[in-house]
Each structure stands twice: as C-alpha cells, then as structure tokens.
Amino acid sequence: MTGRRRSALDEARAIALLERALKSSARGRRIELGIGDDAAVVVPGTERLVFTIDACVEHVHFDRRWLSLGDLGWRALMAAVSDLAAMGARPLCALSNLGTPAAITASELARLGRGQGAAAAAIGCPVVGGNISRGDVLSITTAVLGETARPLLRSGARPGEELWLIGELGLAACGLALLRKKRRPRSRSGALAQARALKRCIVAWRRPNALIAAGVELGQRASAGIDVSDGLGADALHLARSSAVRIVVEADRLRRAMAPELAIAAGELDRDPLELMLAGGEDYALLSTGEKRRRPRSARRIGRVERGQGAWLDREGDLTPLVSGFDHLQAGE
Amino acid sequence: MTGRRRSALDEARAIALLERALKSSARGRRIELGIGDDAAVVVPGTERLVFTIDACVEHVHFDRRWLSLGDLGWRALMAAVSDLAAMGARPLCALSNLGTPAAITASELARLGRGQGAAAAAIGCPVVGGNISRGDVLSITTAVLGETARPLLRSGARPGEELWLIGELGLAACGLALLRKKRRPRSRSGALAQARALKRCIVAWRRPNALIAAGVELGQRASAGIDVSDGLGADALHLARSSAVRIVVEADRLRRAMAPELAIAAGELDRDPLELMLAGGEDYALLSTGEKRRRPRSARRIGRVERGQGAWLDREGDLTPLVSGFDHLQAGE
C-alpha cells in the first residue's frame, strides 16, 4: 500500500493502521507480496484472469447516517467482488483506493479497514495493497482480480432458455428505503416477525454478500449471467442487449421467489414488494439464463428467453417493458 | 466497462464514447474480453502477476488550469503504470474508474478518454474496462495488472552497492512551478533555448512516461527499486527503510545527472535546481540499487548504499538528512 500525496505523518499512520486492519484477511497462498511495496505480487494459475473495478462514493452511493464505516468497508469490497461472481469467477485478491476527507480520524479509518478486512476474510479475497489520497468526500474504489476456467458472459443467452435467479431481490432497496424513512425495527411485543423483517432488509443493504460459490456453479451450467446491482429491470436489459434476445420476467414466478421478510417490510413502507424486486438493486443476486436441465438447485426460474429484444414483465400474458432500475443519482441521496 | 449509478442516458452515452476513445489502445493479444461485460478477461502467463492502483484527484493532484483533459488522461495512466516499472514488470492491462462532476460534457469525457488511450497505446497497456460514477470533483483511479519473471522489491538493497538513477529528476516539479507562476515559454529572439527548456519542463509534468523497458532491465540487474513519485528524498527513504540500510545521495554526482533544461528553467523561478531534483516528484524516474558491475548503461550512479539507516545527502563529505519529498497536500494546489 502506497500512500502518496498525503502528508508524511498521516500517510505513515494511515497505512500502518490499514495494514493492521487488513492483515487477517491477507492469507492467500497465491499472494507472494502484499501491502508495502510499489505493487502486490501474485502467483499466476492456468485459468483465465478476470479483472474488475467498482467505486463507492459518499453522497452518491451511500450516506454515513445510514451505515457504519465498518458496513461501508464491507459493502465496498462485496460490491466489487460481486462482478466476479457474475463472471463465474473466484476472487484472488483486491486493491483498495481510499479517498478520505482531511477530518477523518485514525479510529474511523481503522473501522473502515476492519469492515473491508471482515468482508475479505468472509469471501476469501485478501486486500493486498492500495492507495490513499485526500478527497472532499469519503470514497472507496476497489479493483478485484479473480480467475475462472470458463468466464460466464452476458452475451450467451439463447431463445428457449430459462431465466434464473439466485439470491434475494428487493431486500436491500427496502432496507435503504426504511433507513431513509427512519423506520427502525421496534421490539414491541407481537411485532417480533415485523422487527425481524425490517432488520433483515437493513442488513441486506448494509452487509451484502457476493455469491461466489453460486457464480462458480453458474459458470459451469448457465449460458449468460450478470449480477443484479442496478435492479432486475436494468440488468435484465443488459443481458437482453448483450445476447440480442428478449428477456421476459414472469410476475407470478417472481412473486413466488419473494422473501417473506420483503412482503412484511414493504407493507411498512406502503410499497409494492414486487416493484421493489423489479427496481431495487444492491442485493447482488445473480441473474442468469440456461437450459432447464442444467438449472442449479439453488436457482429459481423467474422467466424465459425469447427471440426479440428488450426486457419485459409478463403479468398473466400481458407484456410491459421493464423500466430502468434503481438510480442512485436520481434517487437524491 | 460498467457504468452503474449514473443516470441511464448519461451512462450509455459516456460508456459508448469512452469505449470509442479507448478502442485503439485495446489490442493486447492476451485480452480475451475488454469493455462491455461485468469484468475483463485476460489470458494468464507463467510469470508473476503484479497488481497496483493509483488515483488522480482534482484539487489534490491536479488543477484543470494547468493541464488539458487529454493530459490528465495520459498522466493518470502513466502514473499508475510507473509502479509496474518500479517492480521490473511489463503492463498487461488497466482498468479505470472515473469520478465525474455532473457538469462534464461528452466532448470533455472524450478528450479525457483519448488521453488515456494515447498513453495506453504508447506504453502497451490497454484499458480493458472500468466504471463511471458521479463525484464532486473529477477523479481517475487506475488499477494496473502486469507481469514479470522476477519482481524487483524495495527491500533488496545491500551495503556496498551503488545508487542508480534512470530518467530525469526535477523537470516535472519545475514545470508545475512554472505553470503556477504562469511563466510560459516566450519566443522572443535570443531566448529560444530558454523557451525550449521551460516547455520541456511543462511537458515533463503534463505528459510523463513510465519507464517500462528500463524497469525490466533493472529487474534483471538491480537489487532494489522504486519509482520517484514523491520526490527523491522521500523515495530514497522508502528504499532505505524497506532494505534496512542507509541510502546516501552524492550531491556532486546528482548535479552531473541534471538535465541542462532544468538548470535554465530553475533560473527563471529563482530556484536551486538541485533542490528541485531532491524534492520534486512526478517525473517517474527510477531509483534503484545494485552492484557496480551490473549497472545498466542507461543508469547513472548518484550515490551509495551503506550500513545504517535513513536517506542522506552527501555534500563533499558533509551528510545531512534528505527531507521528505514534494507534498501535494501541503503544496496548497
């Protein structure tokens, strides 16, 4: 981890405490050199390398009123690693670029690092280096390197295949909406199920999980895949465009894939839970396509692939275009 | 290149024009999949993978009054790739995360992309993907993947070895100081050499070059290496600490390595050119150590490695500690 362009004292201190916070995660056998030189050194394998980058920026992707710095570190890493899951790849290691306001304290930085480190340990993706620079707002940019024998692209979907979902949809969007409305789980008696549902949604937004194992299985079984970060509608459209097919989400099947907690929590917000499933991003579920006989056990069929174009919702035979997903910029965080 | 978390229209347009601007650079044989999916896919080799990240942030690392958006794209990529040169590695590919203010126009974004693309083509490091998100200021975070048979670390310097310099020192710092003071090259007759010197310094700051070929040669000959981005003093100290040795820069040898243009341009600023060589960063010269008999032809000896600690300047036998390098935060850009 280099810390260029920071004052000398801050730099040394910041790097030392991040190194400490991230150390427990940096146990990859393939990592020959981690934090502390000009770059990290990794032992190559024989599989394809998969390489991706993602950013979490304050006031754009998050607001510190709604999550702790530990949550932020966790989320930033998991969101980046999720792109590997979408490609059917396993993570090798990550680099993290922190932009920090001048006012950030050592203990805040350490909490952020521990959140990253916890996610890195949970997902098997050591943070092997990075960079720190000053910024007006807090930001984390994470680059991730992974590998897979057979990358799962967006472009392989074929008419006649099924549309599959692995993971939950809508919980994170519901959790964020609850936080914005300051609806916290209450523990009044008789409302335990409700409190649990709200809590599950909030945790889904604050501490998402990249579905690496599921992605690896899809890499062997699916024809195309993407992770749902922009929302089911927007990401289904990405699949449809890349594969030059029509993707149809079937409302009744989608409803059957609804988490019971979502139905409860959406009621608290007077929102249609199906709408949250369609538009909500950031659960980092995996959307994929494939032949019926190859569907993994953990995947639920939520639609079909047809000749044509676009992403559509089928409500009992009535087809309407799926609107664009949750937009972080226009949502006015 | 994914463009998550930007409004739908902007996203599609921004990605399309960046893809166009970067296309000419993306010709690596090893790149199996570039911009357009969840991640890029690269064919592995047998050498060690080298992995690094660097950021360029407006008002911290640059000011748009002093460089064009094309220069910025170029600089951002070269600065990141320079860390590979420091490790003796060749670049494979890069990912770029852009943070853009809402007011940025399509033509501005295209100019930035063309600058990145030009640097990528010049250095053989295709930009194979990235991410765009909104930010209060313009920023480019670049992750670079490279490879080398034998990584050159900071920690291998041994007492008795020579200290080597490849590339120029002080020109970029002088160029930035000239831009800040609004001293532009004039073309009055009789001052042609001076105008050329000022111009060379400004170009050194705006369009630096990562010294990849020199780094690869050092990887085979040097015992330790680093790229000079913080300033000779600060980076010599990094080498000294990592290797647990004393690094001594010899003033007379350093003066002999001075570019003639630096002597001329420093006069225009009433600055000591040796001071600019010691404190100035961002030329991306390579500082390394090794045995005399292994010194590459392109390297100049500027000092020695001794038992002890710290980085020191030897002025005719009088040793003083080398102060910390150029600090972008405290320089008050």
Q: List, for residues A67-90, the tens digit of each pLDDT value.
A: 999 999 999 999 999 999 999 999
Put simply, whether B5 touches A (Cβ < 8 Å) is: yes
Rg of chain B in Å (alpha carbons):
20
Q: Is 90 exceeded by the pLDDT of residue A34?
A: no
| Interface pTM, i.e. ipTM | 0.88
State percent of chain B over pLDDT 90: 69
Measured CA to CA, the distance from residue B117 to residue B20 in angstroms comes to 9
Q: Which of A125-129, A185-189, B69-73 has the highest mean pLDDT?
A: B69-73
Asked if the Cβ–Cβ distance from B95 to A143 is below 8 Å, we say yes
Question: What is the pLDDT, as a whole number, of residue B37?
Answer: 82
Region of residue B87 (left: phi > 0; alpha: psi -120 to 50; beta: else): alpha
CB atoms within 10 A of CB A205: 24
More confident residue, A168 or B182: A168
Query: Where residue A44 falls among pLDDT bands split at 50, 70, 90?
Result: confident
**Chain B hits for A145, Cβ within 8 Å:** 49, 51, 145
- The partner residue sitting opposite A84, judged by closest CB among B39, B128, B234, is B39
Mean of pLDDT values over A203-223: 97
| Residue A99 to residue A132: CA distance in whole angstroms | 6
What does the pLDDT look like over B42-97, one tens digit per residue? 888 899 999 999 999 998 888 888 999 999 999 999 999 999 999 999 999 999 99
- Residue A297: phi and psi, rounded to 5, are -60, -35
What pTM was computed for the model? 0.90
Is the dihedral angle over the CA atoms B5, B8, B14, B19 positive or is it negative? positive
Q: Give A7 to chain B, closest Cα distance, Å.
A: 6
- Assess whether pLDDT exceeds 70 at residue A206: yes
Q: What confidence category does residue B323 fall into, taking pLDDT thresholds of 50, 70 and 90? A: low
Average pLDDT over residues B255-279: 94
Q: Is the pLDDT of residue A187 over 60?
A: no
- The pair of structure tokens assigned to B72 is 């910025």
The answer for residues whose C-beta is within 8 angstroms of residue B80's C-beta and 6 or more apart is B52, B53, B54, B94, B142, B143, B144
The DSSP line for A264-327 is: HHHHHTT--HHHHHHH---S-EEEEEE-GGG--TT-EEEEEEESS-EEEEEETTEEEEPPP---
Contacts of A22 (CB under 8 A, 6+ apart): A35, A113, A116, A117, A120, A126, A127
Kindly indicate the confidence band of residue A189, based on its pLDDT and cuts at 50, 70 and 90.
low
Quick one: pLDDT at residue A7? 45
Residue B8: pLDDT band by 50, 70, 90 thresholds?
very low
Place of tokens 């991706």: A52
Spatial separation of the C-alpha atoms in residues A43 and A245, rounded to whole Å: 39
Contact call for B329 and A86, based on CB within 8 A: no
Q: Report residue A146 as tokens.
A: 């992974």
Residue B35 C-alpha, separation from nearest chain A C-alpha, in angstroms: 10
Mean pLDDT of all residues in A3-22: 66
CA distances for B167 relative to A250, B201, B296, angstroms: 62, 13, 12
User: What's the token pair of residue A177?
Assistant: 């909406």
Q: Which residues of A touch B130 (CB under 8 A)?
A: 53
Q: How confident is the model at residue A3 (pLDDT cuts 50, 70, 90)?
A: very low
